[in-house]
Structure 1
Amino acid sequence: MSPQELAEAINAYVWKHYDRLVNLDRSYISKLELGKHHWPNAQYRAALRSILPAPDDASLGFYPRQRSQPQRPSGDHHGAEHEERTGSVASAAGNSSKALRAAERTIESIDLSDSPWTPDRIHELAGFIASGGELGPQTAREVSQAWRTTQPPQILELRSGRRIGQRLADLVIERTETLRRMDDFLGGADMHDLVRQELTTTLTMIDDASYTEPIGRQILASVGELAQLAGWVADDAGLRQQAERYYLAGVSAAHAARDEPLAANLLSTLSYQYANIGDPREAVLLATTAANGVPPHTTGTTRALLMERVAWANARLGDARATERALGAVDDLFTETKYAEPEPNFTYWLTRDEIAVMAGRCYVQLQRPEPAITLLTGAVDRYDDSHQRETSLYLSYLAEAHLQAKDVEASVTVALRALEAAMGVASARSSGRINHLLHLLAPSKTNERVREFSEALLASRPHAWPT
């Protein structure tokens, strides 16, 4: 429902059940979403519970405000040093919270309807992933369902107080990593609400809570990680403007956490979005800024990831020489002796095959099909088919490379595989690439195989792909 539709539904409910004529409009709903309005009265809350539907007021996101801190016994052995944030971290947390709240202007109420799933069950699955267990498509869907229907454990834990300790900080980090792994199997249209809910929950948790400086930096870094993931899945759901707001707000949180590699990754990911759908010159500037802005101790894998975005932005710009230089740097950085510093979580997916795929995509962009076919064929053959979005994307570039090499038959054969993979995931990136292939194949529309691809694509339209 749009805000206006929801407002009109409330008007109708109040008229029917209370014989009262009201004329709410979309601005009232927007104020509720932004927390700029008083609590709705009993009639409006009853209407919202009925329309949405929701079992109680808390399910709508209306929580009693608890601004005062609980009194502590004078002999509390934890001491003030364990409770108070430093001025700089407190200020950074407040500013980052405001920035992210501004970025979340379309946040909807969290669905907390009854479910057999429990926070402990989500925590158990998160621990399974953190311990190195494999997360497959079915498990990802199960965790996705749990996330949608279970009250976040962060909120449950804070109801007895407003102090964030190490256990709660670790829980936020663990849940962020679980969501990141789920994104390997689910498309942006399925993931966006989940990540947005987690980001909102984490912001609610840190609002007015007390924590030490190290805990504060961990939490803010998690906010930055969640903002990066929110931007990624929003872009994959076709919500490009929202994605940009997430990325920029995440940069603010990462800087507040003094995590420059994370801030660079956020800027770099935004450059990737600009390269795909915006001005490639802006993308080159952002990607280069991110790659040059990390401190010397940044790991080789992190810097290789940042240079991949530099290569892609330059390929989209059509600068072959700069692209080649960046790809060479990626190879050198990835093979560097690992630093003692651990790799950031956001680099977990970067492998030799992923580097080959990016090089192949760059060569497709530069109209050099021979190296592109060699690189993409080898990497795709080794790729896990359960990662349907990436499988579809990478096959689409291989199909385009075959078409550049004037091999229409091979192109259509690969394009059909890409289409089959795309039908299994709600991804605007995948559907956009499939439509791009159809456009590229249009000059050969009399070819029997091309007609086969066109008909298969037409038959897949009812799957309601994102646009």
Structure 2
Amino acid sequence: MPEPNRLLRAARERLPSSSVPGERASRADVADGVAHWLWETTRTRYPFDAHYVAKLERGVVRWPSAAYRAALRHVLSASDDAALGFTPPVEFRRAGRTVVVQRMAVRRRHRQGGHRDRTGPHADLSPEPARDCCCPGRFGPGGRADSVPLAGRFSCAAADVDLVYPGRAGLGRRIRPIRSSLAFGQRLRCTLDRRGPAGLHLRRLKEAPSGTAETRRAFRAGAELAGIVATMAWDEAAHGAAQRYFKLAAQLAHVAGDDALAAVALASLARQCFDLDRPADGLEVVQLAQYATRRTASPRLRAVLATREAWAHAQLGDAPAFRRTVRLAEDYFSEGLRDGDAATPSVRSLDEAELMGVIGARYRDLSRHDVRHAAEAQDYIGRAIALRDPDRVRNRVFDLVGLARAHLITREPERAAELIGMAMPDAAPWTSGRVGVKLRDFHREAGTFATVPAVRDIREVVAAKLAV
């Protein structure tokens, strides 16, 4: 059990209620004050509510984001974070270098048997040896969860990645800086073909004087390349390598002065957290990206980040926060593209079909906590399929599998089997990656209806294709 934050609760109870004269401030009063202050200072709507205040007071969250801490200090008239019982990261020495970790993360690793996390905030960002790129995925033989604990080699808490913005978000400042083009070249040379376009960028980066427009363009190209490597590693379930390259992409983009691209890299890292069922970590990463781009983000980038935030709320089962964030994503999307969005492919590619598909999949996640949301998942994903560009075959496969899983939740197994049958011909080229993971999820979830002939037959097809 986490230790309650008595200092925070005492500070709240010293504050007069803004809604009931003569009473102490409730958690809702504090949440309203924080949300109002954040809107006034950042023009960004944060999903800060009474439920989150309760988590803070129970000690479930000991080190909230910099934005939340600043707002709470203002609302509760606190001189510093310590006055509100917030525990900063612990610093200790290991092998001659400073490591910054969260106390809760230390306790978690201790409970898991003392695994040393090679992908922590100060792990070497150079590529792993080739054998690590073929590490077991989320599922081992027979479709079972990988026997190697992911927590032993993966960590995506915001304490790890907010160091991309030293001094801006206020959460740690001791990351090893990227000081030279040579260091960057050493980090990518094992992965990128130096004889092709990637090699040209590396040579240009190495030869360019520091601080010039040429260097910034080269760093930006490096960020894009690192993002590609990260996505490829993630798609093959090499989570440790993917995390390191997502972090590297964010660092390089920040050095290049492109905070939108850095935010997209963090959003990708958050999505990796969600794939690994670590929504609290993913939410912190998304909030960091939102805070870092609070003054510069275009509406479409805000929409991308809002969908990631909604993902976290869905996995956590927080329906009010999820609906509120989905409305924000749709509102931001409706404002259209801006000139700068074309430079960030992940932002530009968020069309209406993708938005519908992402929201629908998140409603399906939410339906795990309340099955009434499954119908909304089916509605959104159905609209995504109708709108989807025929050339985006892989996205359509994800839509069909997601819709099938939503129909399992509403106990319509024949329809689910029919949808998987539609997806399988196009799914074949990608079954070794995340498409295969989603099909395995379907295979497992459909086990409840294994006696239904249509389900039995399609599960056999899936099992044969994936060797489940």
Q: TM-score range by the shorter chain?
A: 0.5 to 0.7
Structure 2 residue aligned with 1:312 = 311
Structure 1 residue aligned with 2:352 = 352
Q: Deviations over 1:353-410 (max 9, x none)?
A: 1111111111100111111111111211332344332222111110011111111110
CA contact (8 A) 1:369 1:404 kept: yes
Query: 1:100 and 1:446, CA in 2 relative to 1: closer, same or farther beyond 3 A?
Result: farther
Q: Out of 438, 443, 447, which is 2:448 matched to?
A: 443
Q: Out of 427, 448, 454, which is 2:459 matched to?
A: 454
Output the CA distance in 2 between the equivalents of 1:406 and 1:253: 47
Percent identical pairs in the alignment equals: 23
Structure 2: segments with no counterpart, 5+ residues: 1-125, 128-175, 368-372
Q: Deviations over 1:301-351 (max 9, x none)?
A: 111111111111221222222211111111111122655645433212101
1:256 aligns with 2:255: yes
CA contact (8 A) 1:93 1:220 kept: no
CA contact (8 A) 2:185 2:206 kept: no
Alpha-carbon offset, residue 458 of structure 1? 3.2
Matched AA of 1:398: L
Query: 1:340 and 1:435, CA in 2 relative to 1: closer, same or farther beyond 3 A?
Result: closer
Query: What pairs with 1:327-406 in structure 2 (closer than 5 Å)?
Result: 327-336=326-335, 339=338, 341-346=340-345, 347-367=347-367, 368-406=373-411
Query: What pairs with 1:247-286 in structure 2 (closer than 5 Å)?
Result: 247-286=246-285
CA contact (8 A) 2:204 2:218 kept: no
Output the CA distance in 2 between the equivalents of 1:426 and 1:454: 15
CA contact (8 A) 2:178 2:184 kept: no
Alpha-carbon offset, residue 292 of structure 1? 2.3
Output the CA distance in 1 between the equivalents of 2:226 and 2:217: 14
Matched AA of 1:401: A
Structure 1 residue aligned with 2:240 = 241
Output the CA distance in 1 between the equivalents of 2:182 and 2:385: 41
Output the CA distance in 1 between the equivalents of 2:309 and 2:381: 19
CA contact (8 A) 2:306 2:325 kept: yes
> Scaled by the length of structure 1, what TM-score is found?
0.57
Query: 1:278 and 1:337, CA in 2 relative to 1: closer, same or farther beyond 3 A?
Result: closer
Q: Deviations over 1:169-210 (max 9, x none)?
A: xxxxxxxxxxxxxxxxxxxxxxxxxxxxx3x66334422444
Output the CA distance in 2 between the equivalents of 1:285 and 1:100: 30
Query: 1:283 and 1:404, CA in 2 relative to 1: closer, same or farther beyond 3 A?
Result: same
Output the CA distance in 1 between the equivalents of 2:211 and 2:375: 56
CA contact (8 A) 1:396 1:433 kept: yes
Structure 1: segments with no counterpart, 5+ residues: 1-32, 35-90, 113-150, 155-197
* Bigger helix share: 1
Report the secondary structure of 1:424's partner residue.
Answer: helix
Alpha-carbon offset, residue 100 of structure 1? 6.7
Output the CA distance in 2 between the equivalents of 1:252 and 1:100: 14
Query: 1:456 and 1:202, CA in 2 relative to 1: closer, same or farther beyond 3 A?
Result: same
Output the CA distance in 1 between the equivalents of 2:280 and 2:397: 27
Report the secondary structure of 2:429's partner residue.
Answer: coil
Output the CA distance in 2 between the equivalents of 1:449 and 1:342: 45
Output the CA distance in 1 between the equivalents of 2:356 and 2:349: 13
Output the CA distance in 2 between the equivalents of 1:387 and 1:343: 19
Output the CA distance in 2 between the equivalents of 1:394 and 1:342: 25
Query: What pairs with 1:42-191 in structure 2 (closer than 5 Å)?
Result: 94-95=179-180, 98=183, 101-102=186-187, 104=188, 107=190, 110=193, 151-152=195-196, 154=197
Query: 1:98 and 1:316, CA in 2 relative to 1: closer, same or farther beyond 3 A?
Result: farther
CA contact (8 A) 1:444 1:450 kept: yes
Alpha-carbon offset, residue 263 of structure 1? 1.1
CA contact (8 A) 1:100 1:249 kept: no
> Scaled by the length of structure 2, what TM-score is found?
0.57
CA contact (8 A) 1:223 1:253 kept: yes
Q: Out of 429, 440, 443, which is 1:424 matched to?
A: 429
Matched AA of 1:440: E
Alpha-carbon offset, residue 281 of structure 1? 0.4
Matched AA of 2:376: P
Q: Deviations over 1:28-74 (max 9, x none)?
A: xxxxx99xxxxxxxxxxxxxxxxxxxxxxxxxxxxxxxxxxxxxxxx
Q: Deviations over 1:431-461 (max 9, x none)?
A: 0000110101112111110121022123324
Matched AA of 2:413: V
Matched AA of 2:350: L
Output the CA distance in 2 between the equivalents of 1:334 and 1:413: 32
Structure 1 residue aligned with 2:416 = 411
* Aligned positions, number: 289
Alpha-carbon offset, residue 229 of structure 1? 2.2
Moved more, 206-215 or 389-398: 206-215
Output the CA distance in 2 between the equivalents of 1:109 and 1:301: 30
Moved more, 409-418 or 381-390: 381-390
Higher relative contact order (CA 8 A, sep 6+): 1
CA contact (8 A) 1:419 1:434 kept: no
Output the CA distance in 2 between the equivalents of 1:426 and 1:405: 26
Matched AA of 2:291: N
Output the CA distance in 2 between the equivalents of 1:424 and 1:355: 24
Structure 2 residue aligned with 1:138 = none
Report the secondary structure of 1:431's partner residue.
Answer: helix
Output the CA distance in 1 between the equivalents of 2:461 and 2:340: 49
Query: 1:217 and 1:387, CA in 2 relative to 1: closer, same or farther beyond 3 A?
Result: same
Output the CA distance in 1 between the equivalents of 2:271 and 2:192: 30
Output the CA distance in 2 between the equivalents of 1:452 and 1:355: 32
State the superposition RMSD in angstroms.
2.7
